[in-house]
Structure 1
Amino acid sequence: MVIIPKRELFIKRVYEIVNELKIPLIDERVYDKVGFSTSSAIAKVTFKFEEDESVIRGFLGLAEYFHTVVIKKGDQFFIPHASILFQLVSS
Structure 2
Amino acid sequence: MLRSNADNGFDIQTLSSVQAWRDLQEGFYMRAERFAAFVGLLDEKRLTEDFLDQTYGQNIYNIQGIIEHAYYHLGQIVLLKKMIRSGLYH
Q: Which has the higher helix share?
A: 2
Q: Which has the higher strand share?
A: 1
Q: Which has the higher contact order (CA 8 A, sep 6+)?
A: 1
TM-based fold match above 0.5: no
The structure that has the greater radius of gyration is 2
TM-score by length of 2: 0.27
